Every structure is written in structure tokens, then in C-alpha cells.
A and B are shown apart, each in its own frame.
Chain A
Amino acid sequence: MSEFEYVPFHIYSEDDYKPLPCAVFIRSVMEKVQWKRFPDRIEITVPAVFFSGGTEPFTITFKPVGETSAEYSDGGKAIAELEKRVGDIAPYQKWLKEFAEREGRIHFVGGRILTMKVWALSSGYAVESGIFDMLAYASIVANLDMYPLTYEEALYARRADV
């Protein structure tokens, strides 16, 4: 039995006792998570914040490759959101390339679709980790303009703006 079993404990607040069972919390989160199974993949949709600042659905595709490997992809959402934010992503191409090289397991299919390959999916936890990692990577790429660039990159980006 997992340490995190679904026991309906309650919250005790100092000011005001209001029970909020685990079950309520779990249900509230799970209401926002949707997934659909296809013969070769599962599409998982979670709420995320991108360009608009509001919550919008973000779909991650889980696709098995062989017996123990799987690929997660974002369908091009992260790059599209970055484009909406900065207009032209050309100044960021070098950074995106470096990002993929540094992370190793990610690459951009066709230069646009953020894809992550996980080689040894032996436990259920790794599937979950992949979803959060994809959410993190997509957020990083979509918010690339928030990341401090190197001095040379910043100069290049500024020049490109002009």
C-alpha cells in the first residue's frame, strides 16, 4: 500500500475548522484532468497557463515506442505559444538547440513539436513524472523570453527586434 493512500483526513485550521477531505481535493484536481485512449496512444489534457494568462487545455500525447520506451509530445503548443509571445522565434533557435542538447531526451520534431523520449518505463511513477516534465519543458519553451539569455543572445535578440 502506498504511503499516499486515499484516507479521508481533514484539514484543521486555526481560525475556522472546515473539513476538506482528501477525496474532495483529489476529485477537484481530477475534474481538470482528461485523457482519451487511442489504439496507439493516450492523449492527456491538463489545464495550463500560456500566452493569454488564463487557463487553457494543454494536451500531452503519450505514445509507446517498443516495449519499455515511450514518447511524450506537445503537438507544437510550446513553440506556437512562444511565437505568439515574441513574434519571431529566430533569435531563440540557438537557445532551443542548446536546450535540446542539454536535456538529451528532448528534441523538436520538424523544429516545432516538443518531444521527450523516456527509455525505461518500468513503473507507474515514471509515466506521471513524464507528464510533469513535459508540462515543465513546455512552460520553459513557451516562456523563453522570461529566461535570462546570455549576454550575446540578449544582444542578438535585441538586434533582431530592431
Chain B
Amino acid sequence: MSQKPLLDLCERVMNNFVRAKGDHWGLHIALGMFFDGEGMSYRLEEVAPKTLRLSTGGSFSEWLAYATLDYTEYKEEIEAVAKRFGAEWNEEKGELFIQFKRNELSIGEAYFRLAQAMGVIGNFRYYIHFPGKA
């Protein structure tokens, strides 16, 4: 049985791994990451000269609100995990973000760091077992 078609498919995907479109608010970046079928995305903005801010979109905050029932209860845990990946947590907006200077961190590194933080925090729902909490 030939494995070539799937290898070809994988190679095609890798050639077009990143998908983005822009508007006057910044770049919207589609991720191949889903939580319960909901696609996640990033937004990239330039907040100061040579300083970029990569943040998770509304889909992630909606997912997290649904998954944890009330993510404000898990502020400390979310912040601790985010910090491990160099990300920050904006509780008001319910978004994870990385703000970085372009000479300190590359866009590619920030892209994957945020994906890792999203992967861990976005799965809190399944692994959260605090004593006294549901």
C-alpha cells in the first residue's frame, strides 16, 4: 500500500502552513488548532515602533469561559502557565498575548510559544481537579 499520497499531502500542508489576512486592525492569523471544533486564531498588531503584540482571538476566551465556567477563578494557574512560555494573560479580555520587540524574539518563536500556552491552558477543562472545585 503506497504511503506517497499522505506524504504528498503533508508536504503540501507544510508548504502552506501559515495562513493570514490583514485589515486595518492588524493581521488575522488562522491556526490549525481547534477546541471542540472551534477554530482558533491570532491577531498581530504593532503597538509601538518595532514592538509587536501577538494575541489570541475571541474564540479562545469564549472557549476558556465555557471550559472553566469562570476563568477568573483560575487566574493564578493561567498566569503561571503562560509565564512558562513567555506569554501573559489579560483577564479582562480573556486573552493570552505575547508582546515583544522584534530584536528580542522572532515572530516565528512567538507564534509557537503562544500555541503552546494555548494548548496547555485550553485543556484545563479536562485536567483541572482542584480540591473543593468542580
| Interfacial residues, chain A to chain B (CB-CB below 8 A) | 2-13, 15-16, 18, 20-22, 25-26, 28-33, 35, 37, 40-42, 44, 46-49, 53, 55, 62, 64, 66-68, 70, 99, 102, 121, 124-125, 127-129, 131-133, 135-137, 139-140, 143, 146-151, 153-154
B86 smallest CB distance to A (angstroms): 7
Q: For window 1-34 of chain B, which residues contact chain A by CB distance below 8 Å?
A: 1, 3, 5-7, 9-14, 16-24, 26-27, 29-34
Whether the pair A13, B122 counts as a contact (CB closer than 8 A) is no
CB pair B115–A132 under 8 Å, yes or no, is yes
> Cβ of A125: which chain B residues have Cβ within 8 Å of it?
13, 32
Chain A residues with Cβ below 8 Å from B106 are 28, 31-32
Question: Which 4 A/B pairs are nearest by Cβ-Cβ distance?
Answer: A136-B119, A9-B22, A32-B108, A128-B32
**B contact residues around A99 at 8 Å (CB):** 127
Answer whether A49 and B108 are a contact pair too, CB < 8 Å, given A22-B27, A29-B18, A151-B131.
Answer: no
| B47 within 8 A of partner (CB) | yes
| B residues in contact with A18, CB < 8 Å | 46, 49
Query: Which listed residue (A4, A44, A62, A136) contacts B123, Cβ 8 A?
Result: A136
For this complex, into which size category does the number of interface residues on chain B fall?
35 or more
**Do B131 and A47 touch across chains, with their CB atoms under 8 A apart?**
no
Given that A26-B18, A48-B112, A132-B33 are known contacts, is A20 also in contact with B46, CB under 8 Å in the complex? yes
Q: Is B64 an interface residue (CB 8 A)?
A: no
**The residue from B19, B22, B46 contacting A16, defined by CB atoms under 8 A apart:** B46
Binding site for A on B (CB under 8 A): 1, 3, 5-7, 9-14, 16-24, 26-27, 29-34, 44-49, 52, 77, 80-81, 84-86, 106-109, 111-113, 115-116, 118-120, 122-123, 126-131
User: Are the C-beta atoms of B7 and A132 separated by less than 8 Å?
Assistant: no
Q: Secondary structure of the B side of the interface?
A: mixed
**A142 CB to nearest chain B CB (Å):** 9
Please give, as numbers and ranges, the residues of chain A lying within 8 Å of B6 by CB-CB distance: 64, 67-68, 70, 121
Given A136-B122, A147-B127, do A47 and B109 touch, yes or no (CB 8 Å)?
A: yes
Contact (Cβ within 8 A) B14 A33: yes
A121 to B7, alpha carbons, bound, how many Å?
11
* A4-B119 contact in complex given A11-B27, A22-B27, A47-B112, C-beta closer than 8 Å: no
CA gap between A28 and B102 in the complex, in Å: 11
- Among A15, A102, A146, the one with the most B-chain Cβ atoms within 10 Å of its Cβ is A146
B18 touches A149 (CB 8 A): no
Residue of B nearest to A151 (CB): B131
Q: Which of A2, A62, A143 contacts B81 (CB under 8 A)?
A: A143
Q: Which residues of A contact B14 (CB under 8 A)?
A: 33, 35, 42, 44
B13 touches which one: A9, A21, A66, A124 (CB < 8 A)?
A124
